């Protein structure tokens, strides 16, 4: 897990704060500009493009949340789709119309079958359940290192998929839950992205983030300097899982359907590609790469359909990854943020 850029990231976090308020103002201004852009997009673009934009925001949020787990803390987890599936099903069961729920999902207990929540509480509960599952799994799995952790979390995806497919009474099996209320629009997606980025940014530039990076660089040395590495790893895993579960819930209510196969291993791969291409640990990189990959695969889709070569866009994404690993193994931005982004938002002087 050694990338050449990691030394610079440590130097960058050590620089003294000058005007924290300026960073806050810059962040608010950015959000206002983004909101204005979204409003303009809603006026000017057709609904397909607006949905695509919402998808892009959620993908970016997913990549940023994985940056926290994989990039900052160095846990190579592929489990995001598992937590997304959990979050999506929890939220879907909660928001589903109470009139149809009893007959469609006979396995539900009565109190669940008669509740019908709105999106916001359902989203919070989805995140909570995702976090609790991550806590239980993390306690067991986080003792593993490197690719052992990767395979165990890959296995977790298959375990969750198997449960979703076979637990008919609660999940309606392979057919999945369709006709979910379309509670989520682009504003939800933007809001979610802003919150995820804000939290990740705050963590990265705090003592907690520095402790995470210390664990990534050398767990033994970090433990020796008084960091509780085990607790920190579980914390990073759980925060990532909560964000993933919420993203899964949002996505399900954006496209109004969730099936056991909606969030697959392929998705895990794509999110990891976003993190690796952006540079593991770089929030800017994750957002840039998520944008590039979402736009690239959507742009290639009509090409794929017209020449009948399904799967081509995914091959291109995989080849892009191999080329990046080959030429720039640390990713586009390494572990840090580009200088102008850092200057703008943290209000700190850069060396």
Partner 1 sequence: MNQYLFQQLINGLALGSLYALVAIGFSMIYGIVRLINFAHGDLVMIGAFSTLALVTAGVPWPLILVFVLAIGAIAGMTIETIVFRPIRGASQVTGFIATLAVSIAIQNSALMILSGQPRNFLFPAFMRQRVGFGGVNASLTDIAIIVLTLLLIGGLFLVVYRTRLGTAMRATAENLTAARLMGVAVNRTILAAFAIGSALAAVSGLFWGGKFGQIDPLLGFVPGLKAFVACVIGGVGSIGGAMLGGYILGLAEVLFVGLLPQEFSGYRDTFVFLLLIVILLIRPSGLFVRQTEERA
| Residues forming the site for partner 1 (CB under 8 A) | 1-3, 76, 140-141, 143-148, 150-152, 154-156, 158-159, 162-163, 165-166, 265-266, 269, 272-273, 276, 309-312, 314-315, 317-319, 321-322, 325-326, 329
Q: Cα torsion for 168, 170, 175, 179, to the nearest 10°?
A: 160
- Whichever of 302 and 311 has its CB closer to partner 1, that residue is 311
Q: Can you count the helices (H) and strands (E) in the chain?
A: 17, 2
Q: How far is the CB of 161 from partner 1 (least distance, A)?
A: 8
* Cβ atoms of 79 and 270 closer than 8 Å: no
> Hey, which residues does 177 pair with through a beta bridge?
258
Q: How far is the CB of 32 from partner 1 (least distance, A)?
A: 37
Q: How far is the CB of 98 from partner 1 (least distance, A)?
A: 28
Output the CA–CA distances (angstroms, integers) from residue 28 to 31, 76, 113, 246, 264, in the order listed.
5, 33, 41, 23, 35
* Cβ atoms of 249 and 87 closer than 8 Å: yes
- Whichever of 22 and 261 has its CB closer to partner 1, that residue is 261
- Whichever of 238 and 246 has its CB closer to partner 1, that residue is 238
- Whichever of 126 and 273 has its CB closer to partner 1, that residue is 273
* Cβ atoms of 95 and 124 closer than 8 Å: no
Q: How far is the CB of 282 from partner 1 (least distance, A)?
A: 16
- Whichever of 105 and 150 has its CB closer to partner 1, that residue is 150
Positions of E strands within the chain: 177-178, 257-258
Q: How far is the CB of 343 from partner 1 (least distance, A)?
A: 30
> Of all helices (H) and strands (E), which one includes residue 48?
helix 47-66
Helices (H), the chain: 6-14, 20-44, 47-66, 80-95, 98-104, 110-113, 119-141, 146-166, 168-171, 186-204, 207-217, 219-224, 229-255, 265-278, 283-307, 312-327, 339-346
- Whichever of 173 and 338 has its CB closer to partner 1, that residue is 173
In the structure encoding, which two tokens stand for residue 53, read together?
């934009």
Q: Cα torsion for 335, 340, 342, 346, to the nearest 10°?
A: -170
- Whichever of 51 and 165 has its CB closer to partner 1, that residue is 165
Cβ count near 225 (within 10 Å): 9
Q: How far is the CB of 213 from partner 1 (least distance, A)?
A: 16
Please choose, from the candidates 185, 178, 183, the residue with its C-alpha nearest in 3D space to the C-alpha of residue 100.
178
- Whichever of 29 and 319 has its CB closer to partner 1, that residue is 319
- Whichever of 6 and 200 has its CB closer to partner 1, that residue is 6
Those residues with Cβ within 8 angstroms of residue 243's Cβ, 6 or more apart along the chain or in another chain? 61, 62, 65, 68, 127, 196
Q: How far is the CB of 167 from partner 1 (least distance, A)?
A: 9
Q: How far is the CB of 148 from partner 1 (least distance, A)?
A: 5
Q: How far is the CB of 37 from partner 1 (least distance, A)?
A: 33
State the greatest distance between any 2 C-alpha atoms of the chain, in Å, as a whole number: 64
């Amino acid at each position: 897990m050694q990338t050449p850029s990691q030394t610079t990231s440590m130097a960058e976090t050590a620089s003294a704060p000058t005007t924290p308020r300026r960073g806050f103002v810059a962040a608010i201004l950015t959000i206002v500009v983004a909101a204005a852009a979204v409003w303009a997009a809603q006026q000017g673009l057709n609904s397909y493009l607006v949905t695509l934009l919402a998808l892009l925001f959620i993908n970016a949020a997913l990549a940023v949340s994985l940056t926290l787990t994989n990039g900052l803390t160095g846990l190579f987890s592929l489990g995001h789709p598992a937590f997304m599936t959990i979050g999506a099903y929890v939220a879907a069961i909660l928001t589903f119309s109470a009139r149809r729920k009893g007959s469609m999902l006979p396995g539900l207990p009565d109190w669940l079958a008669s509740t019908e929540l709105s999106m916001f509480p359902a989203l919070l509960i989805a995140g909570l359940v995702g976090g609790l599952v991550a806590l239980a799994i993390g306690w067991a799995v986080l003792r593993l290192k490197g690719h052992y952790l990767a395979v165990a979390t890959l296995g977790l995806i298959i375990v969750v998929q198997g449960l979703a497919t076979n637990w008919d009474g609660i999940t309606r099996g392979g057919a999945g839950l369709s006709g979910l209320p379309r509670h989520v629009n682009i504003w939800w997606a933007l809001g979610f992205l802003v919150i995820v980025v804000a939290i990740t940014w705050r963590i990265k530039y705090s003592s907690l983030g520095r402790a995470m990076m210390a664990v990534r660089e050398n767990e033994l040395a970090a433990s020796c300097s008084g960091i509780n590495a085990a607790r920190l790893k579980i914390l990073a895993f759980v925060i990532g899982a909560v964000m993933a579960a919420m993203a899964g819930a949002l996505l399900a209510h954006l496209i109004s359907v969730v099936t056991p196969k909606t969030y697959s291993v392929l998705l895990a791969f794509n999110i990891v590609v976003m993190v690796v291409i952006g540079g593991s640990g770089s929030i800017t990189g994750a957002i840039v790469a998520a944008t590039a990959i979402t736009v690239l695969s959507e742009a290639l889709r009509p090409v794929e359909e017209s020449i009948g070569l399904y799967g081509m866009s995914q091959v291109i994404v995989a080849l892009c990854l191999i080329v990046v690993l080959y030429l720039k193994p640390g990713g586009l931005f390494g572990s840090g943020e580009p200088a102008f982004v850092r200057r703008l938002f943290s209000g700190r002087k850069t060396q």
